Amino acid sequence: MSDDIKGTVIRLDELVEYQDGTVASRMVIKQKHGNITIFSFDEDEGLSEHTAPFDALVTILDGECEIWLEGKTFEMKAGDSIIFPANAPHALSAITKFKMSLTMIKE
């Protein structure tokens, strides 16, 4: 967890910088019942199809991406959110550089 930001006003999109040719992340909160992580993706970067054992909320903070969820494709931009159900196959790819918040709630 990031103790340096507790009790301060923050902008989630400023917690992680873009890095050329890669994906960067910063965990903001980590608890036994869930966590919040901020990611930045360089253009053309992404995550291959995978599943997670818990529900997750993804909110796009900056830029645009394409998300695949259970065979459906969604083009998303800053301000858009989507919930990945537990065990649902999903993947994503940057259309432009983009940042997202991932909130995972564990049972």
CATH number at 3-105:
2.60.120.10
Closest CA relative to residue 58, chosen from 31, 29, 87, 37: 37
φ, ψ (nearest 5 deg) of residue 13: -70, -10
Per-residue pLDDT for 7 more than 80?
A: yes
Closest CA relative to residue 45, chosen from 74, 62, 61, 23: 23
Alpha carbon distance 24, 36 (integer Å) = 14
Q: Measured between alpha carbons, how far is residue 90 from residues 3, 6, 24 in Å?
A: 31, 31, 19
Residue spans per domain, the chain = 3-105
Give residue-wise pLDDT tens across range 9-51.
999 999 999 999 999 999 999 999 999 999 999 999 999 999 9
